[in-house]
Amino acid sequence: MPRYKITIEYDGRPYVGWQRQENGLSVQQAIEEAFRKFCGQQLVVHGAGRTDAGVHASGQVAHVILNKAWRTDVVRDAVNAHLRPHPIAILAAEVVPEEFDARFSASKRHYVYRIINRRSDLALDHGLAWLVRRKLDAAAMHEAAQLLVGRHDFSTFRDSECQANSPVRTLERLDVVREGERIDVHVSALSFLHRQVRSMVGSLEHVGSGKWTAQDLRAALEARDRARCGQVAPADGLYLSRVDYPPSDQL
């Protein structure tokens, strides 16, 4: 049976998160129902990352197994037609080898966290970015962020309900870039702990506002104590932006 890789964009605000749950509509459920209406098949959409409630995606990846072969443009367009009016879009569909798994074949995941740093309320970006009214020093945030890059025990930045077997992760990139009133935090790693990105961004905000120094951030990391986390940034500004995979001949 043919296996398809689909790339997905969504606004996470109406959903309880990516994963199907009993307490409300999830992104996964909405896409599965759209596939059922398209091809009459009750299937599971396997995602690369389980984003939380309110978290968005501009490059989520999933795979599905269909009972028959369809042209990739037909899969994309037909599922999108059945997704309307959900704020979810299939950006691309492609046939992949049967060994491909959206979650377990991934070699790197990339997130972007958007901060709008100004006094005025958000009109166009409400729910799509974190409004921080205090002046932030993005250069200081970037310099401090480099202390978190590498392989560390990230217990301080791990949610208390995280189910990962180990708090140790290797952070490959944590860059803070300012353009006008917008500050983007770019984060890359093979995998993340539950709410790790939002916890790191919330603590970096403390550095940017002058509440913490870079050494305070280092001390929080080395404490390996969730109580030492500065704060957890809201879901509004977080986007799963891309998922990388090895070449298909290596799967």
Q: Is residue 76 scored above 70 in pLDDT?
A: yes
Give the phi and the psi of residue 139 in degrees, each rounded to 5: -65, -40
pLDDT for the residue numbered 116: 98
Average pLDDT over the chain reads 96
Give the phi and the psi of residue 16 in degrees, each rounded to 5: -80, 5
Rounded-to-integer distance, Cα 84 and Cα 63, Å: 20
- Find out whether 20 and 33 touch, Cβ atoms under 8 Å: no
Strands 3-10 and 88-96: antiparallel
Quote the crossing angle between the two packed helices 214-223 and 196-209, to the nearest 10°: 150
Q: Is residue 249 scored above 80 in pLDDT?
A: no
Give the phi and the psi of residue 143 in degrees, each rounded to 5: -60, -45
Average pLDDT of the segment spanning 65-80:
97
Average pLDDT of the segment spanning 171-200:
98
- Find out whether 183 and 142 touch, Cβ atoms under 8 Å: no
Q: Is residue 141 scored above 60 in pLDDT?
A: yes
CATH 3.30.70.660 is held by the domain 108-242 = yes
Average pLDDT of the segment spanning 179-188:
98
Give the phi and the psi of residue 44 in degrees, each rounded to 5: -110, 130
Task: State pLDDT tens for residues 77-102.
Answer: 999 999 999 999 999 999 999 999 99
pLDDT for the residue numbered 163: 85
pLDDT for the residue numbered 22: 87
Task: State pLDDT tens for residues 34-63.
Answer: 999 999 999 999 999 999 999 999 999 999
| Cis peptide leading into residue 85 (ω within 30°) | yes
CATH of domain 3-105: 3.30.70.580
pLDDT for the residue numbered 250: 58
Looking at residue 87, the DSSP 8-state letter turns out to be: S
pLDDT for the residue numbered 161: 85
Same topology for domains 3-105 and 108-242, yes or no?
Answer: yes
pLDDT for the residue numbered 251: 60
pLDDT interval class at 3 (50, 70, 90): very high
pLDDT for the residue numbered 160: 86
pLDDT for the residue numbered 172: 98
- Find out whether 40 and 3 touch, Cβ atoms under 8 Å: no
Average pLDDT of the segment spanning 121-144:
98
Q: Is residue 122 scored above 80 in pLDDT?
A: yes
Question: Domain segments of the chain: what residues?
Answer: 3-105, 108-242
Q: Which residue has the tokens 């799967």?
A: 251
Angstrom distances, CA of residue 219 to CA of 166, 216, 222: 20, 5, 5
Quote the crossing angle between the two packed helices 138-145 and 214-223, to the nearest 10°: 40
Catalytic annotation on 52? yes
Average pLDDT of the segment spanning 209-224:
98
pLDDT for the residue numbered 247: 85
With b meaning 16 or more CB within 10 Å and e meaning fewer, what string describes 208-236?
bbeebebebbeebbeeeeeebbbebbbbb
Catalytic residue from among 11, 52, 125, 159: 52
pLDDT interval class at 211 (50, 70, 90): very high
